[in-house]
């Protein structure tokens, strides 16, 4: 597996397995187990996907040492705000059955972004997550967040594929030292991709 280095020195597998649109417990758990057997070590979930428990159970059942895995989850906009974000993180960790998270993301640039980001900064400083970042932030929102906070995002996870290449977004991320991570790299099968 190849790795990239985030702006805080943390290594992250370049290829990850996402479980968006897999809310069924058994299907999600089995798909994560199969992905881990196939060699994936980065697993991406989110509170809004309603499958963190299945992911956590698959991780536990896999028997793979925790330090070999890179686990990402995301904070949903309905629980943005400093206190709500801290509680939501604890809820996610309970479902995932983890002692620490590798990457915690703000899922979208809406609601109380700043209170939520301060909560993520606090979790990072406490060692509860190895890196923090954002998802679905366009360049203006990303630069605004960076400009008015202590810790800049390690990563911005955005839709990127052959039909939606996001060159301007990528240039801004490079300029600010934020790793570009793609979601839907196969365009979710649209446009006769396969």
182 burial via Cβ count (<10 Å: 0-12, 13-18, 19+) = middle
CATH number corresponding to 10-184: 3.20.20.100
| Distance in angstroms (rounded) separating the CA atoms of residues 127 and 174 | 26
Ranges of each domain in the chain? 10-184
Q: From first to last of its 194 residues, what are the pLDDT tens digits of the chain?
A: 899 999 999 999 999 999 999 999 999 999 999 999 999 999 999 999 999 999 999 999 999 999 999 999 999 999 999 999 999 999 999 999 999 999 999 999 999 999 999 999 999 999 999 999 999 999 999 999 999 999 999 999 999 999 999 999 999 999 999 999 999 999 999 988 88
**pTM of the complete model:** 0.97
The residues annotated with a catalytic role in the active site are 49
């Amino acid at each position: 597996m190849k790795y990239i280095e985030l702006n805080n020195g943390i290594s992250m597998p370049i290829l990850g397995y996402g479980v968006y649109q897999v809310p069924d417990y058994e299907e999600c758990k089995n798909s994560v187990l199969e992905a881990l057997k196939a060699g994936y070590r980065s697993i991406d979930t989110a509170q809004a996907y309603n499958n963190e428990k299945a992911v956590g159970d698959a991780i536990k059942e896999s028997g793979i040492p925790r330090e070999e895995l890179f686990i990402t989850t995301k904070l949903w906009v309905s629980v943005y705000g400093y206190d709500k974000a801290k509680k939501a993180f604890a809820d996610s960790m309970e479902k995932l059955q983890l002692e620490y998270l590798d990457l915690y993301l703000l899922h979208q640039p809406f609601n109380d972004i700043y209170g939520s980001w301060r909560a993520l900064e606090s979790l990072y400083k406490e060692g509860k997550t190895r890196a923090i970042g954002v998802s679905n932030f366009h360049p203006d929102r990303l630069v605004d967040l960076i400009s008015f906070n202590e810790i800049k995002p390690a990563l911005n996870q955005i839709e990127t594929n052959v039909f939606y290449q996001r060159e301007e977004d990528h240039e801004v991320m490079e300029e600010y030292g934020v790793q570009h991570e793609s979601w839907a790299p196969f365009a979710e099968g649209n446009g006769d991709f396969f």
